[in-house]
Structure 1
Amino acid sequence: MSVNDARGPSVDSRTTDRKAKLAERLAHRGCNTRKGAVKVVIPWPDGLHVAEPAPLITVAGRLERKGGRELVARCPTRQDAQEAADWLVDRFSRLVPGLPVTAEVQAGGGQFLVVLATGRR
């Protein structure tokens, strides 16, 4: 394995104050977010046909904090939207295990919208 491989070790630390005594942590090079300097991204599968997919980490944070509903993708066909909805429910069950999420497919404007919902917080 190369030293620059994404699975290689890396120290994850970032601060604007040189005198700060923050604990450093060990992370994989590919997982190193430098404490928020690099946004974490969960990629959507290439097999799903979605337009304007929402960033899933942001969606998970909002649903966990506030609850409610959020539009996460647009799809050209109902079948594509249902596949995306099924994938999202499975993904969110592992991403935020304590958050019961349901997905709904709604027709609108010649396309199909995928909406995630959870109870109000």
Structure 2
Amino acid sequence: MGQLQDVGEADGWRCWLCDEPVDRTMPPNDPRAPSLDTRISKGRAKKKKQDKGSLPTERLAHKGCNTGKGANDPVVPWPDHLIVVDPAPLIAAAERLERKGGREAMARCPTRSDADAVAAWLVGRFSRLSPELQVHTEIANTGGQFLVSLHTS
């Protein structure tokens, strides 16, 4: 249980997939119970084969979220309350920013207030999704819509 405890503490006892709290006291077979997810995408799996010394990043997940994902690349959903057009896949954007830094266009929004809400949510979500990645947002008026981008610090 020591490894689960360490990963749980590092992730603030929040599921990295759904971003909801994980109750460490749940019975092991409950879908809300804590589990370790080995976060490896197809790109990371190729890199791991090349570099045998690197270990996969383990993250805390609900047993149900982890089981539902299976061996597939994870999909982290955007919340329904945000109004976005063309939302970027969060995991792919995080992996690109981790790998090369720079800027990622994340979504377009119809109003400035929608863009402000998206920007605030993205910074908070990325602080938990990729804690080692320092990001800030930029909002650009693109002729009737607002483009929200993430930049590495």
- Give the TM-score, by structure 2 length: 0.57
User: Using CA pairs below 8 Å that are at least 6 residues apart, which structure has the higher relative contact order?
Assistant: 1
Match of 1:79 among 113, 129, 136: 113
Separation in structure 2 between the aligned mates of residue 45 and residue 98 of structure 1, nearest angstrom: 23
2:102 alignment partner in structure 1: 68
2:78 alignment partner in structure 1: 44
AA matched with 2:124: D
| Structure that is richer in helix per residue | 2
1:6-57 superposed Cα distances (whole Å, 9 cap, x missing partner): 558xxx9xxxxxxxxxxxxxx824313333xx23111111111001111101
| Structure that is richer in strand per residue | 1
2:63 alignment partner in structure 1: 28
AA matched with 2:109: C
- Give the TM-score, by structure 1 length: 0.71
In the TM superposition, structure 1's runs of 4+ consecutive aligned residues that sit over 3 Å from their partners are 5-8
Find the residue that maps to 2:65 and give its secondary structure.
Answer: coil
Paired-residue identity, %: 56
AA matched with 2:140: Q
Count of aligned pairs: 99
Find the residue that maps to 1:31 and give its secondary structure.
Answer: helix
Unpaired segments of 5 or more residues in structure 1?
13-26
AA matched with 1:28: K
Q: Deviation of residue 82 (structure 1)?
A: 0.7
Q: What CA RMSD, in Å, does the superposition of the two structures yield over aligned residues?
A: 2.5
